[in-house]
Amino acid sequence: MKKIALLGSGFIAGVHMEGWKRIPGADVVAFYEVVPEKARVFQEKYSLPYYSSLPRLLEEKEVDIVDICLPTFLHREYTIQAANAKKHVMCEKPMALTVDDAVVMKNACQLNGVELMVGHALRFWGEYVKAKELVTQEAVGKVLTVGAYRLAVTPGWSVISWILQQNLSGGAAFDLHIHDLDFTNWIAGKPEEVFARGVQSTTGAWDHVVTSVRYVDGAISHVEGGWMMKGEFPFTMGYRIMGTAGILEWEFRAGVNIEQRGAASPVILYRDGKPREEFNAQGDDAYYLELKYFYECIESHRPIELATADHGITAVRVAAAARESLEKRMVVRI
Ligand X SMILES: NC(=O)c1ccc[n+]([C@@H]2O[C@H](COP(=O)([O-])OP(=O)(O)OC[C@H]3O[C@@H](n4cnc5c(N)ncnc54)[C@H](O)[C@@H]3O)[C@@H](O)[C@H]2O)c1
Output 17 or 332, the one with its CB closest to ligand X.
17
User: Judged by CB under 6 A, which stretch of 159-167, 208-216, 260-268, 275-283 contacts ligand X?
Assistant: 159-167
Output 70 or 241, the one with its CB closest to ligand X.
70
Output 97 or 326, the one with its CB closest to ligand X.
97
CB closest to ligand X, residue no = 10
Under rule CB under 6 A, residue 11 binds ligand X? yes
Contact 42, 50 (CB under 8 A): yes
User: Judged by CB under 6 A, which stretch of 58-66, 71-79, 228-236, 241-249 contacts ligand X?
Assistant: 71-79
Q: Applying CB under 6 A, which of residues 67, 92, 182, 249 lies at the interface with ligand X?
A: 92
Cis peptide leading into 94, omega within 30 of 0?
yes
CB of 41 to ligand X, least distance (A): 10
CB of 198 to ligand X, least distance (A): 18
Q: Applying CB under 6 A, which of residues 2, 3, 12, 254 lies at the interface with ligand X?
A: 12
CB of 94 to ligand X, least distance (A): 6
Under rule CB under 6 A, residue 158 binds ligand X? yes
Report the alpha-carbon distance of residue 69 to residue 63 in Å, rounded.
16
User: Judged by CB under 6 A, which stretch of 102-110, 155-163, 221-229, 234-242 contacts ligand X?
Assistant: 155-163
Site for ligand X, rule CB under 6 A: 8-13, 33-35, 38, 69-72, 74, 92-93, 119, 121, 157-160, 162, 175
